[in-house]
Amino acid sequence: MTIQEIQENIVDEFSMFDDWMQRYEYMIELGKSLPLIDDQYKIDENLIKGCQSKVWVHAELADDKLVFTADSDAIITKGIIAILVRAFSNQKPQDIIGADTGFIDEIGLKEHLSPTRANGLVSMIKQLKMYAVAYQTQLN
Amino acid sequence: MNTATQNIPFNVEEIRKDFPILKREVNGYPLVYFDNAATSQTPQQVIDVIVDYYSSYNANIHRGVHTLSQEATDAYEQARIKIQKHFNAAKAHEMIFTSGTTHGINLVANGFGALLKEGDEIIVSALEHHSNIVPWQMMCERNGAVLRVIPMNEDGTLMMDVYDTLLSEKTKLVFCNHISNALGTINPIESIIQKAHQAGAAVLIDGAQACPHVKPDVQALDVDFYVASAHKMCGPTGVGVLYGKEKWLKKLPPYQGGGEMIAEVTFEKTTYADLPHKFEAGTPNICGGIAFGAAVDYLNAVGFKAIAAYEHELLAYATEKLLAIDGVKIYGTSSAKTSVISFNIEGVHPYDIGTIVDKLGIAVRTGHHCAQPIMDYYKIPGTVRASFAFYNTREEIDRLVDAVIRAKKMLL
């Protein structure tokens, strides 16, 4: 699936819930199901700056596609990064660089996060795209 | 001009009517505000004073000859006297208006630093928040003074026996909060001050967390400096007070240069104004100062004995209810404690609890509360902090407890 298709699926899934408590419950479930990052990558260099809870993201290339693994010490944050990993993992770096992130607004995620968490979300997206830029440069 | 209510009988439902914000909803639920240690809410009586100031006599003070300026000056200086009486300072000019506690600490750190030399020692408690650590570290970097720390026990009390060993003829200043913002511990400041004085050191007490709950008597305490913020005392943000003994305020150099703090300025030399203006450069927060006076009136009308007794009851009730939840751990269990409960649920990040309870209309604080050394001591990223004021109720605590139980089910 393309990034766009995955994002549309995520928007559909979130639209099934009536209120934000249910959406949080869903996000928490997503967080619990997130494949854990290998311990060797849970290092300070992989920490995303701007998050009040800790978020580690590791990226590596597999068959010209970028694979993200991540973890967080807070479960809601873990749910957020799980959504982003789902949207951007196993995609070509150039597609990640060019991807629109409007789906975040569509599911109302940013609006329903505290300002510190919303800043963290922006930092996470920025970090994933920076990985893509770095690997694209490597591929070129 | 409006003044705050007099002689309010302590009836929480009546008191709640004074706070318009308590009528609002958050996320579809009636607001429960348990972030009072960060900032308290403002009663209508204080809001009216703010509106009245800007509606009727907004003008710059001290220098104007016109009527509005005179009215504003009178109201501002009257507020200073109210605050002097509240803290029982000997003289009104010992009360310096600041922008808040942090400003007051920085003012003293800056001025006191000029009196210290390399190798002099200053002592801080392990229970401080960043505002009462960083300015002193900056001062030590400038003049080579040495920072010593009174360590804490597991229950969040200070190791007073270690304090005794830290004091020496090298000690020039001891600074400590009256009440810990992160844990609610009430520190034995009488003993801290007395012992420091015996060693020949001055003492600064950070009263930011204490002043909403107790009425400090700076003369009885014999404290050298005491700082507080209006916004934690039902007043507005951006204004606070530094009490300093006259002898110290005369000795300290001015913190900032500018208008109002001068006696005479020539390009060759400037002489400084008398107290308190020596430390009040520029146009102050005039409305804030006047409203601070009104907030002090309001708190005194409610009565600190009644506030303390009621808040103690809330603390005991909430402690019992929260501890009944499996996995809850409370940090800071001193018997001398104010109405702050800092807690975590085993296996759950404090931010997650804070986020869920907010969705249920309950405002608590999460994180390190600008007191990272305390969190480092407990080896935790932070806590959930519920801090109660005299306008909170048992029913609100029940809602918090229900919300924490719901959050726990969702998060684990």
* Cβ-defined contact of B351 to A28 (cutoff 8 Å): no
| Beta-bridge mates of residue B241 | B97, B228
Q: Do B381 and A53 touch (CB under 8 A)?
A: yes
Chain A: nearest CA to B407, how far in angstroms? 10
Q: With CB atoms and an 8 Å threshold, state whether B355 touches A24.
A: yes
What is the percent of chain A where pLDDT is above 90?
A: 48
pLDDT tier for residue A94 given thresholds of 50, 70 and 90: very high
Cis before B253? omega within 30 = no
Distance CA B225, CA B134 (A): 17
CB contact under 8 A, B352 and A54: no
| Cα radius of gyration (chain A) | 14
Q: Chain A contacts of B370, Cβ < 8 Å?
A: none
Taking residues A67-86, report their average pLDDT.
91
Pairing of strands B270-272, B262-265: antiparallel
Q: Which domains does chain B have, with CATH numbers?
A: 12-42+303-411 (3.90.1150.10), 48-301 (3.40.640.10)
**Hey, is the C-beta of A41 within 8 angstroms of any chain B C-beta?**
no
CB within 8 Å: A76 and B351: yes
What pTM value is reported for the model? 0.92
What chain B residue is nearest to A72 in terms of C-alpha separation? B349
Interface membership of A77 toward B (CB under 8 Å): yes
Q: What is the mean pLDDT of chain A?
A: 88
Interface ipTM: 0.84
Contacts (Cβ under 8 Å, ≥6 apart) of B339: B36, B184, B213, B311, B312, B314, B315, B387, B388, B389
Q: Residues of B with CB below 8 A from A25's CB?
A: 410
Q: Does B359 sit within 8 Å of A117, measured CB to CB?
A: no
Supply the pLDDT for residue A51.
61
Tell me the chain B residues in contact with residue A76 when contact means C-beta distances shorter than 8 Å.
Answer: 351-352, 355-356
Please enumerate, as own/partner, the contacts of B49-53 that have beta carbons within 8 Å and a separation of 24 or more. B49/B1, B49/B2, B49/B3, B49/B4, B49/B290, B49/B291, B49/B294, B50/B236, B50/B287, B50/B291, B52/B1, B52/B2, B53/B286, B53/B287, B53/B290, B53/B291
From B25's Cα to the closest Cα of chain A, the distance in A is: 16
**Residue A116 clears pLDDT 80, i.e. is over it:** no
b vs e for B171-194, b when ≥16 Cβ sit within 10 Å of the residue's Cβ?
bbbbbbbbbbbbbbbbbbbeebbe
Angle at B407 between CA B404 and CA B410, to 5 degrees: 155
- B350-359 vs A75-88: helix axis angle to the nearest 10? 90
Q: CB pairs below 8 Å between A and B: how many? A: 40
| Closest-CA distance of chain A to residue B47, Å | 27
Confidence category of residue A34, pLDDT binned at 50, 70, 90: confident
Interface probe with A: pick from B26, B346, B351, B405, most Cβ of A within 10 Å = B351
A117 touches chain B (CB under 8 A): yes
Of A25, A73, A114, the CB nearest to B355: A114
- Residue ranges, chain B, pLDDT below 70: 1-9
**Per residue in B285-336, pLDDT tens?**
999 999 999 999 999 999 999 999 999 999 999 999 999 999 999 999 999 9
